[in-house]
């Protein structure tokens, strides 16, 4: 589902020496201050915690690949509001679906998201993650801004997380990478598949089954 997302991973990279780069040092101080303020909020702490958990799992040399993947899956089940995302990306077709189709779709969707993300988490090492800010969008929704740094020294990737508080629990409902909403992108892809099938869900469900059963993850379409 989320091809363009580089997952939240490993240790935060330190920038150059303060004595040699005073301007960068000031920028670093500002970033550090923003980070501290952001993680002092419940929602900022929630997202940073997801990154910290991923780092811990990857660094645990006592885990084999299957154990590591299962830990990633559990993190995703807890951190993402998959029912809300699933309903959004299928759009109006949800109301036109039969109860049996709705049930199968949601089961496949959740399995596919967890499979895709857990596969991505397992692939990366040497990345760094830091929450950089938090802003409120509504009474329920907040946007947490973050940066993913790369071991090759390339420009950090900007990742925004939309977090919704529902029934006293926080859950991620969208991830925006460099300005591209992954939920909106998936909604467009699903709409195209459904349209090609004459508005029916059968084609989409068939493709999703193949994706879930496939040894490698990916998007339908």
* Alpha-carbon gap, residue 186 to 194, rounded angstroms: 12
3 state SS of 95: helix
Provide the pLDDT for residue 68. Answer: 84
Instruction: Among 40-49, 92-101, 201-210, 212-221, name the one with the lowest average pLDDT.
Output: 212-221
pLDDT in tens, 84-133: 999 999 999 999 899 999 999 999 999 898 888 777 776 667 778 899 99
Beta bridge partners of 171: 164
Residue 153's pLDDT is 83
Residues 187-193 have a mean pLDDT of: 94
181, 173, 53, 119: CA torsion to nearest 10: -60
Tens-digit pLDDT profile for residues 35-81:
888 888 999 999 999 988 887 887 788 888 788 888 888 888 899 99
Q: How confident is the model at residue 22 (pLDDT cuts 50, 70, 90)?
A: very low
Task: Work out the number of other CB atoms within 10 angstroms of the CB of residue 140.
Answer: 12
Q: Pick the most confident of 14-23, 27-36, 207-216.
A: 207-216
Phi first, then psi: what are they for 162, rounded to 5°?
Answer: -90, 120
Mean pLDDT of the chain: 82
User: What whole-number distance in Å separates Cα of residue 107 and Cα of residue 113?
Assistant: 10
d(CA 45, CA 47): 6
Q: What is the pLDDT of residues 147-171, one digit of tens each?
A: 988 888 889 889 999 999 998 899 9
What one-character-per-residue DSSP string does 148-175 give? EE-TT-PPPEEEEEEEEEETTEEEEEEE
180 burial type by CB count under 10 A (0-12 exposed, 13-18 middle, 19+ buried): exposed
Residue 142 has pLDDT above 60, yes or no: yes
The share of the chain scoring above pLDDT 70, in percent, equals 82
Q: Long-range pairs for 179-185 at CB < 8 Å and ≥24 separation? A: 180/4, 182/1, 182/2, 182/4, 182/5, 183/85, 183/88, 183/89
Average pLDDT over residues 22-45: 77
């Amino acid at each position: 589902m989320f091809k363009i997302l580089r997952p939240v991973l490993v240790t935060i990279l330190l920038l150059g020496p303060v004595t040699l780069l005073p301007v960068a040092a000031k920028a670093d101080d500002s970033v550090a201050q923003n980070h501290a303020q952001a993680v002092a909020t419940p929602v900022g702490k929630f997202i940073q915690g997801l990154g910290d958990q991923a780092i811990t799992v990857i660094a645990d040399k006592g885990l084999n690949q299957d154990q590591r993947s299962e830990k990633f899956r559990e993190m995703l089940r807890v951190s993402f509001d998959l029912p809300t995302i699933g309903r959004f990306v299928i759009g109006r077709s949800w109301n036109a679906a039969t109860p049996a189709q709705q049930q199968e779709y949601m089961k496949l969707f959740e399995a596919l998201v967890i499979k895709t993300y857990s596969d991505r988490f397992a692939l990366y090492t040497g990345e760094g993650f830091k929450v950089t800010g938090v802003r409120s969008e509504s009474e329920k929704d907040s946007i947490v801004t973050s940066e993913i740094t790369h071991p090759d020294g390339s420009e950090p990737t900007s990742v925004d997380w939309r977090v919704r508080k529902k029934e006293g629990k926080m859950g991620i409902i969208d991830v925006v990478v460099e300005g591209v909403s992954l939920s909106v992108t998936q909604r467009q892809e699903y709409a195209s598949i459904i349209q090609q099938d004459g508005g029916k869900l059968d084609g989409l469900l068939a493709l999703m089954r193949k994706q879930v059963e496939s040894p490698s993850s990916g998007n339908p379409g």
